Every structure is written in structure tokens, then in C-alpha cells.
Amino acid sequence: MGRGLLALILVLGAAIGAARAQSCDEELPASLSNYSGLACSAVWNNYILRYSKDQDNVLSIVLSTAYATGWVGMGFSKDGMMVGSSAMVGWMGKTGIPHIKPYYLGGKSSSEVKLNQGQLLTTAVQPTVVVEQAKIYIAFQLKFSAPVTQQNLLFAFGMKIPVNKHLTKHDDKTSLSFDFSSGTSSASSSYPSNLKRAHGALAVFGWGVLLPIGAIIARYCKHREPLWYYLHVVIQFIGFIFGLAAVVAGIALYDKLHANVTAHRGLGIFVLVLGILQVIAFFLRPNKDSKIRKYWNWYHHWTGRLALFFAAVNIVLGIQVGDAGSSWKVGYGFNLAVLLIASIILEVLLWTRWSKRNVAYTTN
């Protein structure tokens, strides 16, 4: 058992080592012989960045990665964000003709990604694309007005071959800060990853944890009068404040990223409106003996359930559009499963308690 595991680790280690060694040691295709003396760095997934700069601030780049189909892009960004940056994008056309073109990334929809625009200045050396042994090489030279040192770089790829040089959205992308002097990369400092995490965490805690717990208490702990009521009021109030903060952070994030997550944004605002109505309804609730209390109850319960349902949908949507990753999926998934199972069990208990009470009532 132990030996098996050791063997597995050794094999995995060798495989990773081989993948690494293959990357930077490997020779460039013969057709790229005018690019020589390049430094090399593994930047992202299996993306290898080779580069050199000369005293005229000309940067030579050869980006290579595993390739089957679609496009591969490298962007130069002021702030680490996609919008407002310029990129070189290369691909192999359907008929086997290689393409490499500059684009201006003016927005996050296809129509705002503009061919032959942007701020990149190429030199007399023609940009080239080579596909060899299931790898693509994108080679180009750029002229900068000042020495290039620390630079925000974007990498992205899409699986669809561009039609009429029209790009469709990437299947994956990354933004990082690259130091062309030392060849090291780090997380982009100006990308609002903290704001994004704060937005997600506030939203999950408020809408995904506190508010559902408060609702569960109100439905299943009614026999603990008046404890259930105080708990419900306090928890829903705190939950609402977290939920509100999440939406405020979401709006700031939306502006910063120039996001176009319209469904997620719309659903988030809708859920917040329902939450605000719940808070207002709390202050306007009629007396217990009032005739209309029945309708108020009906309204408050169903608005609450609707809000919680759409909030859960929006958390899943947010994790998806925000590319939050598997720890968020597992964490929220686990939380949701616990809440659902608890609700089912408590619902069954509630029904048996009701039916017992009915039996007691009829036999008395």
C-alpha cells in the first residue's frame, strides 16, 4: 500500500518534471529562427512566455501553448483588467491559414472587441503564428515608448475558431503582473480580487447562511414562544445588513470590472428589493388578532421564501460568472445541503406534530 503510493508519487513527480523540462528547454520551430536569445518563463497553465527587450524599448515575444483549435491571446493592460487593454490574438484558420491580429478590448461583449485597434505598436518584423506538434507559437515584436519592466499581462483562449476575424468569448483567462527584468510573475495588484472575495463572502454569509437559518427558526421553532421571535428578528436583521453590504460591494465591483453580468446583477437587485419589502413589512405588521393578519402572514412567508430561493440561485450564478472556483462550489454546496436536509427533517417533524395534535383534537 505504502509502496504503491510512493510509486504513484514518483510517477506523478516525473510526469510533472517532464512537462516542465519540455517547456522552456524545448527548441523553437525553425521558422522562428529570427527570434533568438530569449528568456523563458512558464506563466500560466501550460503557457510559455519567451521574451527579450532591446535598448530601443522593443519587446520580442514568443508565446507558446498546447493547441488544438480556437484562438490564443496575450493582452497588455494598464490595470490588470480586460476592458481598456490591447491584445495580440493568434489562431489557425479552418483552411489551415495562420492568423495573428491586434485587438482593442473595449468591452466584455464580442462587438466591443475591435480588430486592428488598440495601443500596441508592432515593428517592421511581421507577427507570425506557427502550429507544430499540437503546439501554437505566437511571435511578435512591440515597440514601447519607455523601458518595459513591470507589466500587467492577460492571457486567454477560446475554443471557437474566429469567423471573419471576429472573436468569441474565452473559455479561460487570467490576469497577472509580469516583471520583464526578473522573469517572475505575481498576482495583479490593481485587480479588485479583495473586493470580489468580500462581495462573495458577504453574499454567501448574509443570503446563504444567516437569512435561511432565521427563516428555519421562524417556521420550526414556533413552540418556543417568544424565543423564536427574538431570534428571527435579530438574525434576519443582521442577515439583511450583510446582504445589503454584499449588493453594495457588488455594484462597486461591477463598475470596477466593467462587468456585464446582467442576469446576476438583475437577480441580485430583485432579491434585495424583496429583502427591503420584508423589513418594511416587519414594521407594518398588523396586530395578531387583526383580520388582515392572515394575509400579512401569507405575504411575509411567500416573499421570504421567494427571496431565499432566488438568492440561492444567484449565489450559484455568482460563483459561476465570478469563476470563484471549486472551494466556493464545495463550501456553498455543503452549506446548502445541510440547510435542505435540516428543513426536510424539520418539516416532517412539524407535520407529525400537527397530525398528532389533530388526532388529539378529534378524540377529545
Site for ligand HEM (CB under 6 A): which residue of 200, 212, 214, 239? Answer: 200
Q: What would the grid cell of residue 287 be?
A: 396586530
Q: How far is the CB of 283 from ligand HEM (least distance, A)?
A: 22
Q: Which residues does residue 178 pair with via DSSP β-bridges, in sequence order? A: 151, 185
Is 232 a known ligand-binding residue? yes
Spell out a b/e string for 6-26, using b for 16 or more CB atoms within 10 Å of the CB, else e.
Answer: eeeeeeeeeeeeeeeeebeee
The DSSP-derived string for 44-102 is ETTEEEEEEE-TT-EEEEEEEEE-SSSEEEEEEESSS-STTEEEEEEEE-TTS-EEEEE
Is the CB of 200 or the CB of 220 nearer to ligand HEM? 200
Angle formed by the axes of helices 227-257 and 262-283, nearest 10°: 150
Residues 103-162 that bind ligand HEM (CB under 6 A): 103, 105, 108-110, 113, 154, 156
Q: How far is the CB of 306 from ligand HEM (least distance, A)?
A: 12
Is 170 a known ligand-binding residue? no
Q: What would the grid cell of residue 334 be?
A: 455543503
Q: Please count the residues of this chain forming the interface with ligand HEM, following the rule CB under 6 A.
A: 54
| Binding of ligand HEM by 173 (CB under 6 A) | yes
Q: Do residues 99 and 162 lie in contact, with contact meaning Cβ atoms separated by under 8 Å? A: yes
Q: How far is the CB of 342 from ligand HEM (least distance, A)?
A: 20
Please state, in angstroms and rounded to a whole number, the distance separating the CA atoms of residues 22 and 103: 31
Is 199 a known ligand-binding residue? yes
**Segment interacting with ligand HEM (CB under 6 A) among 50-58, 70-78, 94-102, 225-233:** 70-78
CB-CB neighbours of 83 under 10 Å: 17
Site for ligand HEM (CB under 6 A): which residue of 130, 148, 210, 324? Answer: 324
| Binding of ligand HEM by 61 (CB under 6 A) | no
Q: Which residues bind ligand HEM (CB under 6 A)?
A: 73-75, 81-83, 87, 89, 103, 105, 108-110, 113, 154, 156, 167-170, 173-175, 196-197, 199-200, 203-204, 207, 246-247, 250-251, 253-254, 257, 259-261, 264-265, 268-269, 271, 311, 314-315, 318-319, 321-324
